[in-house]
């Protein structure tokens, strides 16, 4: 029985060592959620009913410094995203493909804002945790 336990311990040590090595040098990936969610109107053309969206947005970054940078510039990021959503049409908010295109454009504009302010895009990805349109 003791031999069995010793063998299990011996086999698990290399795995623990590899996990510690990977954890020490690898930067930490974080998701920064924009709170409160973005809420506003879209497709305003005067001839149709009022259309409303609510978007829960998370930004993926790597490293604690990137988290601080995104939080510092959050008002500017939010402003850019609200302006982008306000420009949308019913068609661009109606189906999965169009929403994916909107997500990619939101990422591109967020990265552009941070590149202008910080000299690098900082944000690696933008996710819609929830996107409701009415």
Question: What integer pLDDT is reported at residue 69 of this predicted model?
Answer: 97
Question: What integer pLDDT is reported at residue 24 of this predicted model?
Answer: 62
Q: Which of 90, 92, 120 is CA-nearest to residue 106?
A: 92
Question: What integer pLDDT is reported at residue 90 of this predicted model?
Answer: 86
Structural domain span for residue 74: 28-133
Q: Is residue 6 part of a domain?
A: no
Q: Is residue 18 part of a domain?
A: no
Q: Is residue 65 part of a domain?
A: yes
Which residue positions in the chain have pLDDT lower than 50?
4-21
Question: What integer pLDDT is reported at residue 18 of this predicted model?
Answer: 43
Question: What integer pLDDT is reported at residue 1 of this predicted model?
Answer: 55
pTM more than 0.85: no
- For the domain that residue 129 is a member of, what is the CATH number? 3.30.479
Q: Is residue 8 part of a domain?
A: no
Question: What integer pLDDT is reported at residue 94 of this predicted model?
Answer: 85
Q: Is residue 70 part of a domain?
A: yes
> In 10 A of CB 34, how many CB atoms?
20
CA distance 96 to 90: 13
Question: What integer pLDDT is reported at residue 2 of this predicted model?
Answer: 52
Q: Is residue 126 part of a domain?
A: yes
Q: How many domains does the chain have?
A: 1
DSSP sequence for 76-116: HHHHHHHHHHHT--TGGGTSHHHHHHHHHHHHHHHHHHHHH
CA distance 131 to 109: 18
């Amino acid at each position: 029985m003791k031999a069995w336990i010793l063998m299990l311990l011996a086999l698990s040590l290399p795995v623990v060592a590899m996990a510690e090595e990977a954890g020490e040098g690898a930067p930490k990936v974080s998701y920064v959620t924009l709170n409160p969610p973005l809420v506003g109107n879209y497709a305003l053309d005067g001839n149709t009913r009022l259309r409303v969206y609510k978007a829960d947005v998370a930004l993926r970054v790597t490293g604690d410094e990137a988290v601080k940078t995104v939080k510092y510039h959050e008002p500017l990021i939010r402003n850019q995203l609200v302006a982008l959503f306000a420009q949308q049409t019913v068609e661009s908010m109606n189906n999965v493909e169009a929403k994916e295109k909107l997500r990619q454009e939101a990422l591109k504009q967020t990265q552009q804002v941070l590149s202008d302010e910080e000299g690098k895009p900082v944000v690696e990805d933008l996710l819609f945790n929830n996107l409701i349109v009415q």
